Chain A
Amino acid sequence: MQESIPSQKIKIFAFVCNWCTYAGADLAGTARMHYAADVRIIRHTCTGRIDPLFLIKAFENGADAVIVSGCHPNDCHYNEGNYLARRRWAVVRKLFAFMGIDDKRIHFSWVSAAEGAKWAQLVNDVAAKVAQLGPMKYLDSCEVDL
C-alpha cells in the first residue's frame, strides 16, 4: 500500500482514450497505486475524437487543469487517431498559450494500458504543479482594466 497523496483541492479534467490511458488508469487502480484525488477522467474512444472545444468547455466549467492522454504513436487502436490528435494539439496548445492560457494547466501524455505507474505519477506531478498556480478563474469576470 502506498502512502496517501492528499487532494490539492483543484479539479483536473482528464480526456483519455478507452484503449490505452483509461486501461492504464484501471491498472493503477488494480495495483492500488495512490495518486491525488483531483483528477476526473472522461472516457473517449480515441484521442482523435477529442476536440479543443472540450478543453475550453472544461475551463468554463471549473477545471483548473486539463490532461489529454492516449496511446503511444504506432499503437493507436484505430491506427492513426493519435497521430491526427498529435498534430491538432501542436497547433492548439500554442494558440492557447498565445491567448494567455497558462500552459502549465494543459498537459499531454502518452500512457499505455500497461503504464499504471506512469499514470499515477503523472497525476501527482500535474496536481502538485497546478496547486502552486492556484485555481483557474477562467474568464469568469468581465472586469478588465479599462
Chain B
Amino acid sequence: MSRIGVFVCHCGENIGRTVDCGKVALESGKLQNVAISIDYKYMCSSPGQELIKNSIREHGLDGVVVAACSPRMHEKTFRGACAQAALNPYLCEMANIREHCSWVHDDKEAATAKAMDIVRSLVAKTVRNEKLFPIKIPVTKRALVIGGGVGGIQTALDIANSGHEVILIDKSPSIGGRMAALSETFPTLDCSQCILTPKMVDVAQHSKIKLVTYAELESVEGFVGNFKVKIRQKARYVDPIKCTGCGLCSQKCPVKNIASEFDEGLGMRRAIYTPFPQAIPNRPVIDKNNCTKLKTGKCGVCQKICQVGAINYEDKDQIVEYEVGAIVVATGLRALETREIYPEYGQGRHKDIITAMQFERLASASGPTLGVIKRPSDGKVPEKIVFIQCAGSRDSNAGYPYCSKICCMYTAKHAMLYKHKVHDGKAFVFYMDIRACGKNYEEFVRRGIEEDETSYLRGRVAKIYEENGQLVVNGIDTLSGEKMSIKADMVVLATAMSAQLESVHLAQLLGISYDQNNFYSELHPKLNPVDTATAGIFLAGSCAGPRDIPDTVASAGAVAAKVGGLFSKELLEREPIVACTKSFSNMNTCSGCFSCLQACPYGAIEQEIIVDKKQQQKKMVAKVNQGLCQGCGSCVSICRAGCLDLKGFSDEQMYESIIGMGGS
C-alpha cells in the first residue's frame, strides 16, 4: 500500500472555471493508495508548495501527484519542493489537467470526468515510481582537439584559457589548416596569415596546450568524461627539440620537384620541408615517399649539413595514449576538383583553368608567384579572368546538392584582389545566385561590382575549350538572354567544398554520425549545433558543413563553452531517466540476441559476460551504459524477452497508467 498525496490546483480560474477541482480532490481521495487529497488555488506559489511539503511530513507520504499545469511547465518546481521535504523528487508526478483539459474543453462535466481519469492514471503510475538518483560519472578534465585549422586553434585556446588541458593534433606538419593558405579574407580583406599567425603562436606557447602535429587519431575507447585515445605520431625523421628551424636542410635537399600540397600544386617543395614559412611548429619533416635516402639509402645531404644533428633516419611512427574527457572534431573540409564531375570545364587539361584555392595561392604574398597573378602556363599576367561560381555545388546529379556557402563571397573577393593587382584587368563572374548573407557581406559584393567593375553574368557555363592557344568560355547571360563567348586568359572555378576523404573513417572511429554528404551530424540542427549524438564529442567548424571563418570561430567558442560546462564539476550529473536491465527472481533473462544494441541510437548497450544461474554456463548479455544512455526507451520495446526497462517510465509504471486511465 502506498501513501500518495494528491494536490489539485485551481490555477486561479484557469483550471477552476472548467474543472470542478473540489470534486476531483474528493473523488481522488477515495482511491486506494491515496492518503490525502486536497485542492488549492495556486499550487506553484510559495504557500502552495509549503502545503505540499507539510503534507509530506505530516502524512508520511511516499508519493505526490500534483494535478495542475503541464509537467513541461512545473515538474521541476514540484520535484524541487518534494526534495526539500526529504521525498525523492522522482516520486513526484504531475497530472496535466490544464493544457490538456481545462483549456481545451468547455463541457464542465466532461472536463471534470477527464480530469479524474488523468489523476487516477498518474496516481496508479506513481505507486510504481522508484526512487531515482542522478547518475554520477567522473570526468577527466582534458580535451582532445582533432584538427588545427582556425576552428581547432580557436577552440583549443578557449578551452585552455578556461583552465583546462588541451591536446591539439593535426595530420599536417603544421597547424593553420585552410586559412593559412588564404591570401586575404572577406569581408575585411585582412591578410589571412597576419590574423591567424598570432593565434597559432599562442597555441604553441600556451602552457595548457600540447601541440602534436603530423599525427592522426588511431583509436578511441570509453565514453564521455572517460575516453582513452591513441594517437599515431608519424615519423618526422627530424628531432623537433634539437632542430632550430634554420632551414638549411630544405635549401640543400637535392629533390626539388615535388608538387607542394600547400601551394595546391602550383609550386614545388623539397623532400625535407616545412609546408610554409610561418609554419608552427617551425620544424621540417621528411616526406618518406620522396626522400632518396629513405627510399634507396643514398644521399643524406640534410644530415651532413645539419649543424645540430637533428636528422634521424631511423625515426618510426609512435603510438601514444592519452586520457581525455572530451573530444572536439575540427577537421574542416576539402575543396573538390571538378575534373571528375564537369570534364567539360577542362580542369586538369589546361594549366590556366584553376581552382579557387589555387587562385588564393597565386594572390598570396608568400605564394609560388609572390602574390603576382600569373598564368601557370606561361607566367604572363592575365588581362581577362573568368570566375565560375557553383562549379560543382547545388547539383544533385553530380552528387553535391548543397550550397557550399562561401564561394559567392570568395569569388567577389578574388575578382577584387585581381583588380587591385592588375588595374587594367577585367573580371567576369558567371553566377546562379549571389549569397552574401553575413555582416557587411552584401556591401562587400556591391563594392566589387561598383568600385572594382567586376562583371556579373547570371548564367551557367556550358564549355571551356582552347582555340589557337586561347581559352574560350561559352556561357549565357540569362538577364539579357545573350549567349556569351569570352576569350579568357585564366578561368577560376569555385569548386564544391566537400567533406574530407577520411571523414567517414574518422566518424566510425569516434562513433559519431554523418549525413549523406559525409559531413558530421550535429545533435540538433537548431538547438544543439555543436554537440553530436555521442556524449562528450563536439563539432567545431566546417566538418559539420561548409561555413565561413566568423561562423567557424563562433562555433569553436560554443564548443569551448560546452566543454567548460562538461568539466565544471568533479562528477558529471545526469538525469536518471535511463534504460536498465530488468532481472526476474534475481536472474538475468537476456538471451544475448543484442537486438537492443543494434537499435540504440547512442551505442549505449554494451556486452557483458555473466554466469547464467539456471544453466550454470557463461553467457554474453546486454548491459546499459548509463553514461551514454539518453533515455529514449527504444531498446525496452525492441527486447522480445522484456529484459530491459526505462527508469521513470518503466513497464510497471506505463501498465498502471494505462489501466488507471481506463477507469475504476
> Is A26 in contact with chain B by the CB < 8 A criterion?
yes
Interface residues of B in 115-172 (CB under 8 A from A): 117-118, 121
Binds A, one of B303-311, B317-325, B438-446, B650-658: B650-658
Q: How far is the CB of B248 from chain A (nearest CB, A)?
A: 55
Shortest Cβ distance from A5 into B: residue: B105
> Is A141 in contact with chain B by the CB < 8 A criterion?
no
Q: A26-B100, A51-B637 are in contact. Are A13 and B661 (CB under 8 A)?
A: yes
Per-residue interface assignment for chain A, residues 21 to 59, with 1 indicating a CB less than 8 Å from any chain B CB and 0 otherwise: 011011011101111010011111110111100100110
A77 to B70, CA, bound (A): 19
Q: How far is the CB of A135 from chain B (nearest CB, A)?
A: 13
Shortest Cβ distance from B99 into A: residue: A29
The answer to whether A48 and B634 touch across the interface, beta carbons within 8 angstroms, is yes
Shortest Cβ distance from B631 into A: residue: A45
A90 to B217, CA, bound (A): 42
The answer to whether B632 and A81 touch across the interface, beta carbons within 8 angstroms, is yes
B114 contact set on A, CB distance < 8 A: 37, 40
The answer to whether A49 and B636 touch across the interface, beta carbons within 8 angstroms, is yes
> Is B599 in contact with chain A by the CB < 8 A criterion?
yes
> Is B601 in contact with chain A by the CB < 8 A criterion?
yes
A27 to B83, CA, bound (A): 29
B524 contact set on A, CB distance < 8 A: 77
Q: How far is the CB of A28 from chain B (nearest CB, A)?
A: 6
B638 contact set on A, CB distance < 8 A: 84
Q: How far is the CB of A12 from chain B (nearest CB, A)?
A: 11
**Chain B interfacial residues counted at CB < 8 A:** 46
By secondary structure, the B interface counts as helix
Q: A41-B96, A44-B654, A57-B659 are in contact. Are A81 and B107 (CB under 8 A)?
A: no
Q: A26-B72, A49-B632 are in contact. Are A4 and B661 (CB under 8 A)?
A: no
A6 contact set on B, CB distance < 8 A: 107
> Is B27 in contact with chain A by the CB < 8 A criterion?
no
The answer to whether A45 and B96 touch across the interface, beta carbons within 8 angstroms, is no
The answer to whether B100 and A41 touch across the interface, beta carbons within 8 angstroms, is yes
> Is B414 in contact with chain A by the CB < 8 A criterion?
no
B118 contact set on A, CB distance < 8 A: 40
The answer, among B96, B99, B649, for a CB contact under 8 Å with A49, is: B649
Q: A61-B661, A84-B599 are in contact. Are A44 and B103 (CB under 8 A)?
A: no
Q: How far is the CB of B121 from chain A (nearest CB, A)?
A: 7
Q: How far is the CB of A1 from chain B (nearest CB, A)?
A: 9
A51 to B632, CA, bound (A): 13
B71 contact set on A, CB distance < 8 A: 43
Per-residue interface assignment for chain B, residues 532 to 576, with 1 indicating a CB less than 8 Å from any chain A CB and 0 otherwise: 010000000000000000000000000000000000000000000
B533 contact set on A, CB distance < 8 A: 79
The answer, among A4, A18, A23, for a CB contact under 8 Å with B106, is: A4
> Is A88 in contact with chain B by the CB < 8 A criterion?
yes
A57 to B648, CA, bound (A): 20
The answer, among B72, B110, B599, B654, for a CB contact under 8 Å with A54, is: B654
In the A-B complex, the 9 residue pairs with the closest CB atoms: A29-B99, A61-B662, A49-B633, A48-B634, A78-B632, A37-B110, A7-B110, A62-B662, A80-B601
25 of the cross-chain contacts (CB-CB < 8 Å) are A11-B662, A23-B72, A25-B99, A26-B70, A26-B72, A26-B96, A32-B104, A37-B113, A37-B114, A40-B114, A40-B118, A42-B661, A45-B646, A46-B634, A49-B637, A54-B658, A58-B661, A61-B662, A62-B663, A77-B524, A79-B601, A81-B601, A81-B634, A84-B634, A120-B104
